[in-house]
Structures are given as structure tokens and as C-alpha cells.
Amino acid sequence: MEKKKITKICCIGAGYVGGPTMAVIAQKCPHIQVTVVDINQARIDAWNDENLENLPVYEPDLDQVVAEARGRNLFFSTEVDTVIKEAEMVFISVNTPTKTYGEGKGQAADLKWIELCARQIAAASDSDKIVVEKSTLPVRTAEAVKDILRNTGGGVKFQILSNPEFLAEGTAVEDLQQADRVLIGGENSPEGKEAIQALVDIYAHWIPREKILTTNVWSSELSKLTANAVLAQRVSSINSLSELCEATEADIDEVSRAIGADSRIGKKFLKASVGFGGSCFQKDILNLVYISRSYGLTEVADYWEQVIKMNDHQKGRFAKKIIKSLYNTVSGKKIAFLGWAFKKDTNDTRESAAIYVADHLLNEKAIISVYDPKVKEKQIQFDLNCLQTRSEEENRSLVNVEVDPYEVCKDSHAVAILTEWDEFKTYDWQKIYDSMLKPAQVFDGRNILDHEALRKIGFRVYAIGKS
């Protein structure tokens, strides 16, 4: 492969990763033309919307980055083939959800969209390209991508790199601008090394060289799954102990602080909660479990599967606690949900704990009223309908979404905190108390409120990991 300078990048997939990642590359590399393509016309239109409040992804400061680069060297388009053809480097950033059918159903990653991308790149290319896997993929996926590209690419040469994304939603822009590390896996051949170098040179415009790690492709692919598995494991570990705290009068926040002060452990990711959500943790662990089983590594698979089981248990336990505290019946009772997104500072609701807690309560015929500062009613109904637990009409009649949090709490028996949005801490809780049915109860699934102050007002408070 002849050495070339990258002047045009194409990214396939304008989602939570493709959009912000490419926006930051374009911001930091004004000499490179970056075009993000997607088959979803509505999503592309939203990325091109003049009103930056309508961008399809909400992330703090993302609007500013897009405002700076869009139209200069950052573009969003549905002309997938043309943009691929013109680019020297093509990122694949499409979704890789858990399979919902066939072999590996419920565990393996569905690589349908990855394969489609590989075939489309092969068909559209008439010059050599570097193809970068940005999506999270099972270890050894690059082999399949390579096979498709080499056998259908009509003599064009492709180099495949793995460059998993470690950004966290809610802090995506900051994570991209000041990454702890960038990981690039490639082939250990002269062409492979040259391709790695081309990508290193891009990141080196703003990431210090010592933070750009290069490995073989398989280590890179597996490192992404492992990073998510270990992060989720910390959450499940602390959540498992939160149940023990409730039984023993220990306090989970005090335990977290005590163990987090140990520099070998560190304090991050030790906050007990109603359970982790998001599009990645569960999907990536299930994938790890599936891969381990497919290699016959039963103990390894069972070990990681437990992280998911504990998370499911934590969500169910929270819902059961609400039911028990409301005298074992929530039928016909209004329960206020503050928060629906899977974490604060994002509008992403995928696998959010709120969905499963709501589903549990709806099975008991509760009436749920929801407020989230960034999630719209349509998304909330969509999330519940996806579970197929009840009809769309039933979900519509049992779940009501408001734009005013005080309206949501009015006449409710209980308020449940499902997302740790900062604004919840600043509410007039006396006003909320006065508008609720008594005894007024708060279930703080994120341990963010001042529980003593709430008790003084008259609330009954349940918090995770506190007796």
C-alpha cells in the first residue's frame, strides 16, 4: 500500500459514537474533510439542523463543536457510496446490538450491519483504503471484515484497523478531547504498520503520543469488551454489597468511600444505584460470555454472566421495594419517575434501569408519570413497547409523560429517582411533599438527594444500601 496522507475521512454510522467522535476529529484536524454518513435520513437531517438544540445526540458542549466544524470540514450525508469512494480512511461506527434471533440469540453480537458495511465499502471502492473498526466487535471480527473486503473488493487493497471507542455518554466530548488513551490495533506487516501510523498521526493532533497505544488487532478488539466488563463488574460488586448494607445497617456510601481511598482500588465506579444501563455494558458482557462459551470456557463465561444477573437483581429489587413499601399493592396508584435516561447528561435511554423498573410496576397495574429533562414522550413509549409486555394502547394509558416535574409528582404516592440529573437536587421538595398523597415516599435509586432534609419535611425515604 502506497503511503498516503489522509485528507478525506468517511464514517459510516451517525449515532452516539460516530457523530461526536467525528465532530471532534474534524474540530481538531481542520485540514481533513470528515463526512459522516447514515442510511437514516431523519438522523442526518437532525445533524444538519440549523438549530443545534435539534442535534440527534445530546452531549454537553457537542453543539459548540458541531457549530465550529460543520460546513467547514465536517459534513453529514446519506450519500453513502459517494463518500466511501472519495475517502482514504473509512470508519465503521454502526450498531452491533445483541442478537435477537437464531444461533447466539440473547448473547452474541449481531454483526449483520458490520457485514453490510464491509460489502458496501468493497462495492463502492476503486482506490486503496484503510478501514477502521470503531464499533465494538467480538474478538476476531476483523478477520471476517478482511475476508469480505479482499474477496469482493475487485483488486483494491484494504488495511483493517481496530480502534475501539472508550467515550462515556454524558461526558463524550470531554472524553474525546482528553482521552485517557487511544487504542489502535493493526496487522504486524509493513502495510499494517503504515496504516496504524496514518491513524496515529490523526489522533496525534491533540492526544499526546504516549497515550496512543498500538497493539495487534485481536488484543484491541478484546480490550474494549474487557474494559466494559470490568467497569460493569465494579458496579455490580458495589450493588451486591448495597443489599448486604441494607440488612446489616452498614452504609454503602461509607463503604465505597472507605474502599475507594485505597489507591489500588480507586474511587470511580463505586456508586451504588438501581443498576447500570446503556447500550454497551450488558451487550458487551453478553458477547464476552458467548465468546467464552464458544471456546468451551464455561467457568469464564459463568463468572462474567454473574455481573448481568446481579444487575437484573438490583433493578427488580428496587421495584419490589416500592411495591412492598406501598403496602404490597401499587394497583391504580400514581408513581412519579424522575429520570428516564440511563444516566445524566445524555438523552440515550437504551437499557435504562427506568424501563425495567417501570415494566415491573406496570405489571402490578401502577400508573406511572415520568419527567426527564432530555427524553421525549415518544422515546419513553417506544422503550416500553419494545419489551412487548403489553399492548401499545395499555402503555399509553398507564404511562403519562410531563414536561413539568412538579406536575409529575402531584397526587403521587411515591417519587422514584431513576437518573442522577443534577436538577433533581435543587427542586423545592417541600412543595413536592405538599402536593403528594400521604405518607409521601421517596425511593432514591441514585442516592443523590439530601435524605435527612427530606425526612425533616416528612417524607419516608428509601435509599440504595442504607438501612
Ligand X SMILES: NC(=O)c1ccc[n+]([C@@H]2O[C@H](COP(=O)([O-])OP(=O)(O)OC[C@H]3O[C@@H](n4cnc5c(N)ncnc54)[C@H](O)[C@@H]3O)[C@@H](O)[C@H]2O)c1
Residues making contact with ligand X (CB under 6 A): 12-18, 37-40, 43, 80, 93-96, 113, 116-117, 135-136, 165, 167, 169, 279-280
- Residue of this chain nearest to ligand X (CB atom): 15
Shortest distance, position 44 Cβ to ligand X, whole Å: 9
Nearer to ligand X by C-beta: 15 or 192? 15
> Least Å distance between CB 106 and ligand X?
17
Strand order of the β-sheet with 74-77 is 74-77, 33-37, 8-12, 89-92, 129-133, 158-162, 182-185, 212-215
Determine the Cα–Cα distance for residues 422 and 349; give it in Å rounded to an integer. 17
CB of 404 to ligand X, least distance (A): 29
**Cα 440 from Cα 413, distance rounded (Å):** 6
* Nearest CA-CA partner of 3 in 130, 187, 149: 130
CB of 272 to ligand X, least distance (A): 22
State yes or no: 433 annotated in a binding site: no
Marked catalytic residue, from 10, 11, 245, 280: 280
Q: Is 389 annotated as a binding residue?
A: no
Give the Cα separation of 9 and 381 in Å (integer): 37
How deeply is 377 buried, as exposed, middle or buried, from its count of CB atoms within 10 A (0-12, 13-18, 19+)?
Answer: middle
- Between residues 81 and 302, which has the closer beta carbon with respect to ligand X? 81
Pick the closer one to ligand X by CB: 160 or 322: 160
Alpha helix ranges (H) inside 70-186: 80-86, 112-124, 141-152, 172-177
| Alpha-helix residue ranges (DSSP H) falling in 250-335 | 252-260, 281-294, 298-325
In whole angstroms, give the CA distance from residue 356 to residue 270: 22
Q: Is 275 annotated as a binding residue?
A: yes
Among residues 271 and 283, whose Cβ is nearest to ligand X?
A: 283
Residue 91 annotated as binding site: no
- Residue 280 is among the residues annotated as catalytic for this protein: yes
**CB-wise, 13 or 186, nearer to ligand X?**
13
In Å, the largest CA–CA distance within the chain is: 74
C-alpha 117/C-alpha 139 separation (Å) is 18
Q: Which three cell numbers stand for residue 320?
A: 419490589
Which is closer to ligand X, CB of 153 or CB of 405? 153
- For residue 271, give the 3-state DSSP assignment: coil
Q: How far is the CB of 31 from ligand X (least distance, A)?
A: 25
Q: Is 131 annotated as a binding residue?
A: no
AA letter at 49: D
Cα–Cα distances (Å) from 297 to 112, 282, 289, 334, in that order, read 25, 19, 9, 47
Q: Report whether 146 belongs to an annotated binding site.
A: no
Confirm whether residue 17 is marked as ligand binding.
yes
Q: Nearest approach, Cβ of 279 to ligand X (angstroms)?
A: 5
Binding residues for NAD(+): 13-18, 38, 43, 94-98, 135-136, 169, 280-283, 350
Binding residues for substrate: 165-169, 224-228, 264, 271-277, 342-343, 446
Active-site residue list: 280
